[in-house]
Amino acid sequence: MRGDVEWGSIPGLVRSAARRYADAEAVVEGRTRITYGELGARVERAAAACLANGIATGDRVGIWAPNSLDWIVAALGAVSAGAVLVPLNTRFKGTEAADVLRRSGARLLFVTGTFLGTSYVASLRRAAGGDAGDLDGPLPGLPDLEQAVVMSDDAPPDFRTWKDFLASGEGVGEAEVRRRAAAVDGDSLSDIVFTSGTTGRPKGAMITHAQTLRAYEVWADLAGLRQDDRYLIVNPFFHTFGYKAGVMACLMRGATMIPQPVFNVDTALANITAERVSVLPGPPTLHQSLLDHPARDAHDLSALRLVVTGAAVVPLRLVERLRGELGVGTVLTAYGLSEASGIVTMCRRGDEPPVIASTSGRAIPGTEVRVVDGEGTPVAPGRPGEILVRGFNVMRGYYEDEAATAEAVTRDGWLRTGDVGVLDEAGNLRITDRIKDMYIVGGFNAYPAEIEQLLGLHPDVADVAVIGVPDARLGEVGKAFVVRRRGAVLTGDDLIAWARRAMANYKVPRVVEFVGELPRNASGKVVKGELRGGVRGGRECGGG
């Protein structure tokens, strides 16, 4: 496979793309248009700046910013300097971001200025224990973070601007940059993606260069991505669906990347029309909003030819409408998780619409998928059980967490996904539930245990349990069952308002129900089945 033979590493892929597709358009961002040759030069400049600022092979570099050309350059520059990328969710509050930075030991952070009305710098300062102070030394509460770079031309005096950071690398020669990049091999870590589990404590899934390259070469092949494609990347770059099925796949095929910082249906329609977008992956809600937009017919969407979706229920009617009303030739669904490089199963081109709508496809080449009972014994086709995955895509473990790694990966290499699914006779996988109780809010994974921990910090909350409930717009949202402390007069609106200050918006429960006590079994665990009351249905998930 090309990822194993020609590229060897992500820096090798960047250099290959710059050479093979030198004059092809690589990234379009507003009025800015750059070729693959220019992108390669920008990435090398960012790598030089990383070297000039003391980044060594294996150092962790965080990035907390929305989709943009500069995100691509900063991330690829850091990885080309031998660093391990730690992408941070743009919906995080400062405390959540600081926790990931602290636990990963990140030495450098690329951070946006203001996004969606929030100053990320101010948020980080508050979470880091007050004034950030002089960045020549560690931030309060973040002892390993030596420097933060604001990805704009304007930054507080104690933060460096993106322009100044890039200029700092001008004394580093091209030969030195390329030597560092050449030292990165397939077994080197490429990134640590932090994902929450049932304990509520984020865990960092470690993925290598070879795993990334092989997985997204497979993705590009199965999707049928081509050099003449123009790819609107709405999926966030902090997620494997955006960064790897987006940036990596485009680098492999020479497709044009059109990053969009946040999904807005009017902006998406304008981009699709103006840029003749042909590829548009994303959650079903994205495609549904395009189909249902009242001004849809005023836009030329005829170039759209490839849609890859997942992360929620995919109605058969949606697949039929994408094909029939928009003429999309290829609609595919997929399933993945960060611990498996973001991809486990995927439909194939030519699959019938019912297969695409009702399943997440079959195991990708080089992997095995098994459904087992509580004793770990494989069950017959059509029977539900926990989904296990084994293959090249399974993570190297959780960063500095041997106990969690041993719990997640068996001695013979099977990853316990925590998802419940059913395999049919043809090997197609249907996701039916989450052992971990995770639910998906508009494409974002929400973990009840983590949300329960945060809500439990409210002084008027004595006990709390969170479940996902259906929502017409977002697919699912959180509902909190709360036991008040004695004498408290806390209202649902009060708790929701408090939660909006404490956690990312997608985690905030939309509904609060106060109860006298939570139902528990003999071992003291909350019986969430009683709370759900049969309101939850099956769900397909995918895309990383």
Report d(CA 476, CA 418) in Å as an integer. Answer: 19
pLDDT on residue 122: 85
Q: Does residue 200 register a pLDDT over 80?
A: no
CATH number of the domain residue 469 falls in: 3.30.300.30
pLDDT on residue 113: 87
Give mean pLDDT, residues 106-118. Answer: 91
Instruction: Order across the sheet with 202-208: list the strands.
Output: 160-161, 147-150, 108-111, 60-64, 84-87, 189-196, 202-208
Q: Summarize pLDDT for 153-186 with one digit per residue, the tens.
A: 887 767 899 999 999 999 999 999 999 999 999 9
Q: Summarize pLDDT for 4-25 with one digit per residue, the tens.
A: 447 899 999 999 999 999 999 9
Distance of CA 399 to the CA centre of its chain: 17
> Is 213 contained in some domain?
no
- For residues 288 and 417, membership in a common domain is answered with yes
| pLDDT greater at residue 147 or residue 49 | 49
Report d(CA 180, CA 162) in Å as an integer. Answer: 22
CATH number of the domain residue 181 falls in: 3.40.50.980
CATH number of the domain residue 391 falls in: 3.40.50.12780
> Is 332 contained in some domain?
yes
**Total residues belonging to the chain:** 544
- For residues 484 and 511, membership in a common domain is answered with yes
- For residues 351 and 369, membership in a common domain is answered with yes
Least confident of 85-94, 135-144, 307-316, 429-438: 135-144
Distance of CA 350 to the CA centre of its chain: 27
pLDDT on residue 357: 87
As a whole number, the mean pLDDT across the chain is 90
> For residues 107 and 57, is the Cβ–Cβ distance under 8 A?
no
Give mean pLDDT, residues 139-145. Answer: 80
pLDDT band at 448 (very low <50, low <70, confident <90, very high): confident
Residue after which a domain boundary falls, among 434, 453, 474: 434
Give mean pLDDT, residues 493-501. Answer: 96
Domain count, the chain: 3
Give mean pLDDT, residues 482-500. Answer: 94
- For residues 112 and 125, membership in a common domain is answered with yes
Q: Summarize pLDDT for 512-530 with one digit per residue, the tens.
A: 999 999 997 644 568 888 8
Q: Does residue 121 register a pLDDT over 90?
A: no
Give mean pLDDT, residues 340-355. Answer: 95
> Is 148 contained in some domain?
yes
Secondary structure (DSSP) of 298-347: GS--TT--EEEE-SS---HHHHHHHHHTT--SEEEEEE--GGGTT-SEE-
Q: Smallest Cα–Cα separation from 81: which of 46, 36, 38, 123?
A: 46
Q: Does residue 348 register a pLDDT over 70?
A: yes
Per-residue HEC secondary structure of 481-510 comes to EEEECCCCCCCHHHHHHHHHHHCCHHHCCC
Radius of gyration of the chain (CA): 23
Handedness of CA 243, 244, 245, 248 (dihedral sign): positive
pLDDT on residue 312: 55
> Is 211 contained in some domain?
no
- For residues 378 and 520, membership in a common domain is answered with no
Residue after which a domain boundary falls, among 205, 225, 253: 205
Report d(CA 33, CA 200) in Å as an integer. Answer: 42
pLDDT on residue 198: 39
Give mean pLDDT, residues 252-262. Answer: 97
- For residues 129 and 148, membership in a common domain is answered with yes
Distance of CA 143 to the CA centre of its chain: 26
pLDDT > 90 fraction of the chain, expressed in percent and rounded: 71
> Is 396 contained in some domain?
yes
> Is 91 contained in some domain?
yes
Per-residue HEC secondary structure of 148-216 comes to EEECCCCCCCCCEEHHHHHHCCCCCCHHHHHHHHHCCCCCCEEEEEEEECCCCCEEEEEEEHHHHHHHH
- For residues 296 and 427, membership in a common domain is answered with yes
pLDDT band at 135 (very low <50, low <70, confident <90, very high): very low
Domain that holds residue 467: 439-532
| pLDDT greater at residue 301 or residue 452 | 301
- For residues 360 and 484, membership in a common domain is answered with no
Per-residue HEC secondary structure of 36-80 comes to HHHHHHHHHHHHHHHHHCCCCCCCEEEEECCCCHHHHHHHHHHHH
3-state secondary structure of 240: helix
C-alpha pair distances (Å), 24 with each of 14, 137, 233, 257: 14, 43, 18, 11
> Is 542 contained in some domain?
no
- For residues 80 and 196, membership in a common domain is answered with yes
Report d(CA 466, CA 91) in Å as an integer. Answer: 19
Can you tell me which residue has the tokens 């930054």?
155
Instruction: State the Cα angle at 364 between 358 and 367, rounded to 5°.
Output: 120
Q: Smallest Cα–Cα separation from 543: which of 313, 210, 242?
A: 242
3-state secondary structure of 269: helix
Residue after which a domain boundary falls, among 185, 205, 225: 205
> Is 462 contained in some domain?
yes
Q: Summarize pLDDT for 207-231 with one digit per residue, the tens.
A: 999 999 999 999 999 999 999 999 9
Q: Does residue 272 register a pLDDT over 50?
A: yes
pLDDT > 70 fraction of the chain, expressed in percent and rounded: 92
Q: In terms of DSSP bridges, do strands 444-446 and 439-441 run parallel, antiparallel, or are they unpaired?
A: antiparallel
- For residues 423 and 450, membership in a common domain is answered with no
Give mean pLDDT, residues 56-82. Answer: 98
- Candidate ranges 49-58, 143-152, 453-462; pick with highest mean pLDDT: 49-58
pLDDT on residue 28: 98
Q: C-alpha dihedral over 446, 452, 457, 463, to 10 degrees? A: 160
- For residues 172 and 84, membership in a common domain is answered with yes
Q: Does residue 544 register a pLDDT over 50?
A: no
- For residues 294 and 148, membership in a common domain is answered with no
Q: In terms of DSSP bridges, do strands 256-259 and 230-233 run parallel, antiparallel, or are they unpaired?
A: parallel
pLDDT on residue 446: 84
